[in-house]
Amino acid sequence: MVFAPDPQLTVTIDQPADETEIHLHPGGQGVWQARMIKCLGVPVVLCAGLGGEIGQVLEPLLASEGVDLRVIHRESSSGGYVHDRRDGNRHEIASVPGHPLARHELDELYNLALNEGLNAEVSILSGPGHPSLVAPEIYRRLAADLGHNGSRVVADLSGPHLAAVLHGGVSVLKVSHEELLRDGLAADDGEAELIRVIRALHAQGAESVVVSRAEEPALVLVDGEVAQLDMPRLEVADPRGAGDSMTAGVAAVLAQGGDIRLAARTGAAAGALNVTRHGLGTGRPDAIAGLVDRVKLAPMRVDRQDRLTPDELAHRTTKP
């Protein structure tokens, strides 16, 4: 189950040849994750809230993705954006975040996601398009209710929403090093600092932790040990969506009964392949499988005394 509270309509203007093209797709973190999970051959239920004219356009587009769509219809509008990439770079023309879900809409969406999540082996909690759209408390409760009743929870979050799910407890936490820096959880992007943060996140409620580092190898904590995900470098066509594909790869393997080490390697392969394409959350499953064998988990030697305590991390999370 993928909890995607507010999918977005993405409109992209492109010109790969002589003629201008306009592409309409459903987007947002949860949508891209669900798309990659489906690419990997794993059934996926997408739980979402849709509303307004944008929601009316989004619903059939989401249904055409081939995921099992579960929707609550809201009174306020969903969000979206228009990008122009005719010169090879993305330029934002317009963007509307959508409106926060009302209390009764959140109750309906929560019940929907809880029911579907309890029937799933793994649930992904993906972030809202804008932090104001869904309160962090919803994520804390959902992580706790799913986890306490046997569903493995994978969270791909940052900021207050990340802090909230740690209180609920998660099987896997995925976060980027840029998000850790932006939120003040990491003082710098050095390996020693990131490892200290990873261990503190583990102590606060994340069983396993994956920290993506853009073009650098990801760092993971599995079975209490920190390792680096080493894999061949690939030429980048579009860097966006690598982290979401990584999360999807991790969840897909866990849902099929695989262990966290294979899940981390598969996630790295899915993320790496996605950047060679222009479609977010896409990739040939055979190509991903071929890359998995090239991804290595390399244990890292760290000073066990040089780490953040959970209290220190909590202070960083709550500071202005």
How large is the average pLDDT for residues 200-225? 93
pLDDT in tens, 67-100: 999 999 999 999 999 999 999 888 999 999 999 9
Lowest mean pLDDT segment, chosen from 11-20, 89-98, 218-227, 305-314: 305-314
- What residue has token string 């583990």? 202
Task: Report residue 48 as tokens.
Answer: 């979402």
pLDDT at 317: 52
| Displacement of CA 170 from its chain's centroid (Å) | 14
pLDDT at 17: 86
Domain with 172, as residue range(s), is 2-318
Is residue 216 predicted with pLDDT exceeding 70?
yes
How large is the average pLDDT for residues 159-169? 96
pLDDT in tens, 229-280: 987 776 666 666 588 999 999 999 999 999 999 999 999 998 888 767 666 6
CATH of the domain at 117: 3.40.1190.20
In whole angstroms, give the CA distance from residue 128 to residue 3. Answer: 10
Is residue 320 predicted with pLDDT exceeding 50?
no
Q: What is the pTM of this model?
A: 0.89
In whole angstroms, give the CA distance from residue 231 to residue 242. Answer: 14
CA dihedral 175, 284, 230, 217 (to 10 degrees): -30
In whole angstroms, give the CA distance from residue 1 to residue 16. Answer: 35
pLDDT at 312: 56
Give how many domains the chain has, as a whole number.
1
Percent of the chain with pLDDT over 70: 89
SS (H, E, C) 89-105: CCEEEEEECCCCCCHHH
Banded pLDDT at 303 (limits 50, 70, 90): low
Greater pLDDT, 297 or 46: 46
pLDDT in tens, 174-197: 999 999 999 999 999 999 999 999
Is residue 288 predicted with pLDDT exceeding 90?
no
Strand residues in 177-311 grouped as ranges (E): 206-213, 216-222, 225-230, 296-299
pLDDT at 319: 45
pLDDT at 10: 96
